[in-house]
Structure 1
Amino acid sequence: MTKSPRQRERAVLQAVIPGLEAEGFEVFLQPGAQLLPPFMAGYRPDAIALKPGRKIAIEVTAGGGDRPNRPALQKIQAIFASQRDWEFQILYAPPSSSDPDLAPEPKEAIFATLRRLPSLLDQGGAVAALLTGWSAFEAAARRLMPDDFERPQSPSRMLETLAFSGAVTPDEADLLRDLGRRRNQAAHGKLDVTITPAQLEQLIAVTRVLLELTEPADAV
């Protein structure tokens, strides 16, 4: 499937975020003015990556359209030339008709998975229930925001996007951050992670809300 320039740019940016986070950066997409230094007045990068001792401004371009052209990028580079605290990185998103996508799952398939989770916790244990429950949650999030989540996401990035859009409340985000950390541990071989029946029910409830936000619910 051929993507638009905007979709290609988003895909490239999402692809580099996990690596930056693994290096200890905190990544902010479309950062507001309060996060940017005065010398960037009039320019907002597509993302910034921050950690002690290093700051990066990231611009993603597929060329053409309403994105910066080469002279504009050179002008932006010039404002960073005298800055010791900031780096400027340009990521290019070349055309491709073979980019791997994660297509949204059918809504009923997600509901069916949610219905199986309580018995899966009883019969298969916490790891199986947590990994399956998180998969259903991601699938629901992808149905709600397909362009943002067409590529695999880290739990922290997915939650940041959902919270920013208002799809999850602050309390729900706190619960999901905790479960997301446990999900990562389970996915990487920690076999003694836990999830209580109450926490699983909360995960199910949040996932159902995401599904209901996409369109009127067609399953209960």
Structure 2
Amino acid sequence: MAPSLRPRDGEAERHFIETLRALCEQAGFAFQIEPAPDQLPDFLGDYRPDAVARKPMRNFAIDVWSGPDPSEPPLPSVRRLFDGHPDWHLHVGFMASDPLRAIVIPGADPAQIRAQAAEIRALHAAGHRRPAFVMALSLLEAALRVQSEDADGTNPPGAVVQALAMNGLIEPETEHALRPLVALQNRIVHGDLAADPMADDVALVLAAVETTLSEEASHP
């Protein structure tokens, strides 16, 4: 049996996958951990995802990723397996090395989130790019809680991005753009002084926050 993309991390991985399970099932997906080969489509060959989430015409193979860089091999070759299969998508869930224990956080009003976004833009304009970037990503989870009653705890950032994509609140292109930013956030908050967001990264994250809050955002 072919392995998934990254090495396993025992209890941390189980916690992460259970978080994804709750978010996916709340969104109406059937969720299955470690599916058997005969439960997967033939085009995946020997590749084995850590979990799958299924809806009619909207299926996800989920691979938990504990490394820092989502672009390193073998991810590109695995993504190519999904070419020509529009009802199936690969989602890589980023798992921090020290995921926070879940706590209950009250939901925020969209107006409060937008006010915070305005403060973050001002912080960024003043040249404080790193704190603005970290705070902008934190708003993604607040925006998710507006749309999902079950998202009431402290979820790993990768799980938040995953949930936004699976709920149809952000486009696949946005999800792919946010993935490396989650890894960058982890480096910054863990003291990597060399990690520095690009000038447009804060704008990208805040645009995803606004898309999530938008009345036009619809669940699949």
Q: TM-score range by the shorter chain?
A: 0.5 to 0.7
Hey, what does 2:121 align to over in structure 1? 118
What SS does structure 2 have at the residue aligned with 1:31? strand
The one-character-per-residue Cα deviations of 1:150-199 (angstroms, maximum 9, x if unpaired) are 11111221222221221111110011111111111111112332223322
Aligned sequence identity (%): 20
Aligned length: 144
2:155 and 2:177 mapped to 1: Cα distance? 18
TM-score of the pair, normalised by structure 1: 0.54
1:214 and 1:142 mapped to 2: Cα distance? 17
2:177 and 2:31 mapped to 1: Cα distance? 25
**CA 1:20–1:121: 2 relative to 1, 3 Å:** same
Choose which of 96, 107, 112 in structure 2 pairs with 1:109.
Answer: 112
Choose which of 136, 141, 145 in structure 2 pairs with 1:142.
Answer: 145
**CA 1:168–1:100: 2 relative to 1, 3 Å:** same
The one-character-per-residue Cα deviations of 1:71-125 (angstroms, maximum 9, x if unpaired) are xxxxxxxxxxxxxxxxxxxxxxxxxxxx942111122221011112232123352
Gaps of 5+ in 2: 1-9, 22-29, 40-50, 53-61, 65-101
Gaps of 5+ in 1: 1-16, 40-46, 52-98, 216-220
- Residue 22 of structure 1 deviates from its aligned partner by 8.8
Structure 1 runs (4+) greater than 4 angstroms displaced: 25-28, 47-51
Choose which of 182, 186, 192 in structure 2 pairs with 1:180.
Answer: 182
**CA 1:175–1:144: 2 relative to 1, 3 Å:** same
Contact 2:165–2:175 (CA<8 Å) still a contact in 1? yes
Hey, what does 1:78 align to over in structure 2? none
Hey, what does 2:163 align to over in structure 1? 161
1:197 corresponds to 2:190: no
Paired letter, 2:31:
P
Paired letter, 2:107:
P
Contact 1:27–1:50 (CA<8 Å) still a contact in 2? no
Contact 1:155–1:177 (CA<8 Å) still a contact in 2? no
**CA 1:118–1:18: 2 relative to 1, 3 Å:** farther
- Residue 27 of structure 1 deviates from its aligned partner by 8.7
TM-score of the pair, normalised by structure 2: 0.54
Contact 2:19–2:155 (CA<8 Å) still a contact in 1? no
Hey, what does 2:90 align to over in structure 1? none
What SS does structure 1 have at the residue aligned with 2:200? helix
Hey, what does 1:19 align to over in structure 2? 12
RMSD: 3.8
Contact 2:184–2:195 (CA<8 Å) still a contact in 1? yes
Contact 1:20–1:27 (CA<8 Å) still a contact in 2? no
Structure having the higher helix fraction is 1
Paired letter, 1:19:
A
